[in-house]
Amino acid sequence: MGRSVLALLFMPALSLAEGRDLYEHHCIRCHREDSAKPTEFLKAKFRGKPEAIVELSKRCPWGRNLSQMEIEIIAEWLSGVE
């Protein structure tokens, strides 16, 4: 059973923690504080707009290696809490 199936079962409680994990794994190396678009900037810009992140991921190289579900989980985390 893959992680995505597990994520579905335990949503939404698990998805927020997973979103952070996935983000740290796939995204943070280019979005650190000293980068052009730090994580805090992305969080502020995309607060409440997970669809916009999902949309962007289809056009940008960073979405290529991720499943739709992983992207959605990351998008939810990035646009939501904290």
Q: Which residues contribute to the site for ligand HEC (CB under 6 A)?
A: 26-27, 29-31, 37, 42, 45-46, 53, 56, 62, 66, 74, 78
Structural tokens at position 48: 């409440």
In angstroms, rounded to a whole number, what is the distance separating the alpha carbons of residues 25 and 79?
17
In angstroms, rounded to a whole number, what is the distance separating the alpha carbons of residues 77 and 32?
16
> In this complex, which beta carbon is closest to ligand HEC, that of residue 1 or of residue 44?
44
In angstroms, rounded to a whole number, what is the distance separating the alpha carbons of residues 68 and 46?
18
> In this complex, which beta carbon is closest to ligand HEC, that of residue 14 or of residue 20?
20
CB of 50 to ligand HEC, least distance (A): 10
> In this complex, which beta carbon is closest to ligand HEC, that of residue 1 or of residue 7?
7
